[in-house]
Structure 1
């Protein structure tokens, strides 16, 4: 068939001669179209293979065209909050220099006593956790400039996967609407609601807990980042998002986890048995590479074959999964712990920061509520930052191994700042209450408990908006998924 199309046969007396025929314009276009489609097909197949494969080694061509997806870093975050850390450090110095009488009169945050005190008053929260509220103040100032959040703003977007609409009224929490597509969604939403409930319930009687209405999302990737929504993480360009603490501060149903204070206590116990001098002088990391293939494969490639590396991936379907897996406390046995973001932020970072180890992280794209306390240099340095492609990981590790006193200082700073202060549940409760207060400052309306009843009206009662948190928690999981539709 091809010979007939591309060649013209001429019959002669002694032989048959074939002469090449010039292709027509249509045939040329068809050839290029088919070739382009074939190349695109191969490219798409390569990209799909690269993003879904758990094979640690990929062909160079596949790696080159591996998409970054949502992990494409248009902006990276870099915070300088020395004053925040200086204030927290100075508080400890004042306690040490105070007389016995002054210690009895003045209150200062003490980790052993106050870490799980959910009921600190506003003055104590300000004193104990300077710098923790920077993200809230950023969002509040921006909203003050743009105009207050209206009832129409919340109504302007329907709930998508992982969203809950709720209300605080007379210091009680009401769930108005949910859209939770699976049990993982449900667990995260219930954990966030529980943490908020605890913060409100434990608030001192004199604390100002205003009536508010809000929408929050527990998805890794906020689906509507231009809307005034509460979310777990944001990028620099997501100006409208208000950050809430990660659901893991309540608890996380994952192997070797649970509540965050459980993990902290286990890390402390482990370090009492295996002190700093016994830590393994290697960089450890375990994770699923398909959550962020380009980023996490770069970490694997940069650490491959290095004497200081114990970096490896997790394959949940592998029969040797239990041998590959290292819980957060097991990682405390190592002097260095690597961190890499996932589909967006990675909830594992806070657990790694509970260890007296040095966190080595690439430049972060996703911001969480406490990230303003990160310092990558100076006397307050509490982690090591490398490039997003880990191209300078090897030189960074060699520098750390050559300066053991620097390593110990960074690890101690990390414990003092994170484990012993800003990752405590006392800090989390203080953050929730400040969020409630500042959100009310930018709300343009007063929430009502009964639909059809205006503020101050008592002569009529409509349908109650939402269901109390305590009652919602008694519902079957399938009812919680899409309340109130699921109730019918």
Structure 2
């Protein structure tokens, strides 16, 4: 009888222990599921993409590969952020996240858009972010040890480069562009109304002819020469007016999506139009980009040289496939962009090939829009996710000398340098000793 009671007691104890373990596991799993439940097995809703309060885990789960540029920059060696005598082109900022406050050490008047973007990402973060000092450049040229809009993707170019989101994610104050979220909404409307078969069957481009890439100084003149008088092209030089604020022949940024093919040309380095064009269910046609923005690496190129165009020799195809900047190739069933010859020599033949293969062409266009727009890589959520990762990543590797930069103690910077962001955003001035 005693044996039976002991056996029953053991079973009871085991049952209690198992119940406790299962309870703990279920509640732990429930905590995990509560974090990711809105995103499981489906693309988040537009409402979620407009949310600015995603955790770091949610950001990485929903936007895989978004922080590739940051992760690679962090992998490089530690370095010391030094004071430079020629900082007239850069702004240096000290951010204190414990108090949700920002101190700005402004050397010059900077694009307010970048500062607004950073402030928005910080103040809406559901998790604490580290204090740090950083430099950023608003120029098209690229600078080491500073946040820039792009970097060279030439593997021969070595250095410490950090890519930040473009200012257009706040606003691009041109009459035919505006804010990113407005443009995306208008693009959604166009894509809902105009199927691929009804889009204008031409390549489209507007731009300034003389503003050419440092890596391809004849990029735009060659494009104009190649498309001149062609019935398959709607390519024009912008006729600027009102101090370059608007142009007589401009096309609103969303209206590019009404065309089947959109030509992308880099500027001095990058061009800020690329994200807007990628939101369209149209085919972006471009020479292989020589500079990467923060999400350009999401391109999956189909090289024109792989299409067996009648005008392409085997030598040309071999040369294109040896491009050291874009080593990975994609099949036509996987691609979301088309790369053509840097001199546009095969542009017409590529367009004719795409016309002759409408199913392939439509697939490329739809994959582009799905990758960039529909799954949220241009959303406000994605943008603040990237900024926060940039702050975290940068703070891991930069070494700050507080004797040089001062120290924020919650009541102000030690020696009176800088100004609160709230004040600077209104006055545009900072006390700089």
TM-score category (smaller protein): 0.7 to 0.9
Secondary structure of the 1:137 match is helix
Secondary structure of the 2:150 match is coil
State the alpha-carbon separation in 1 of the partners of residues 134 and 232 from structure 2: 47
**1:165 aligned residue:** 92
- After superposition, the Cα gap between the structure-2 partners of 1:362 and 1:121, relative to the gap in structure 1 and judged at 3 Å, is same
**2:187 aligned residue:** 267
1:465 Cα shift? 3.5
Trace 1:77-476 onto structure 2 (pairs within 5 A).
106-108=37-39, 109-143=43-77, 148-150=78-80, 153-161=81-89, 163-169=90-96, 170=98, 171-180=100-109, 186=110, 189-204=111-126, 207-222=127-142, 225=143, 227-236=144-153, 237=157, 239-292=159-212, 294-317=218-241, 323-376=248-301, 377-378=330-331, 379-420=333-374, 421-445=376-400, 451=406, 462-475=414-427
1:306 Cα shift? 2.5
State the alpha-carbon separation in 2 of the partners of residues 104 and 157 from structure 1: 47
State the alpha-carbon separation in 2 of the partners of residues 427 and 449 from structure 1: 34
- After superposition, the Cα gap between the structure-2 partners of 1:327 and 1:134, relative to the gap in structure 1 and judged at 3 Å, is same
Secondary structure of the 2:104 match is strand
Contact 1:358 1:383 in 2 (8 A): yes
In structure 2, the gaps of 5 or more residues are 1-32, 302-329
1:178 Cα shift? 2.5
1:149 Cα shift? 2.5
Secondary structure of the 2:236 match is strand
Contact 1:450 1:463 in 2 (8 A): no
Contact 2:92 2:136 in 1 (8 A): yes
Deviations 1:417-440 (A, max 9, x none): 111221111111000011111111
For these two proteins, the number of residue pairs brought into alignment is 357
Secondary structure of the 1:110 match is coil
Bigger Rg, structure 1 or 2: 1
In structure 1, the gaps of 5 or more residues are 1-101, 181-185
State the alpha-carbon separation in 2 of the partners of residues 158 and 431 from structure 1: 29
1:158 Cα shift? 2.9
State the alpha-carbon separation in 2 of the partners of residues 438 and 402 from structure 1: 47
Secondary structure of the 1:281 match is strand
Secondary structure of the 2:128 match is coil
The RMSD of aligned alpha carbons is 2.8
Contact 2:238 2:247 in 1 (8 A): no
TM-score (normalizing by structure 2): 0.76
Trace 1:469-488 onto structure 2 (pairs within 5 A).
469-475=421-427, 479-480=428-429, 483-484=430-431
- After superposition, the Cα gap between the structure-2 partners of 1:118 and 1:447, relative to the gap in structure 1 and judged at 3 Å, is farther
State the alpha-carbon separation in 1 of the partners of residues 183 and 368 from structure 2: 16
Contact 2:176 2:250 in 1 (8 A): no
Secondary structure of the 1:439 match is helix
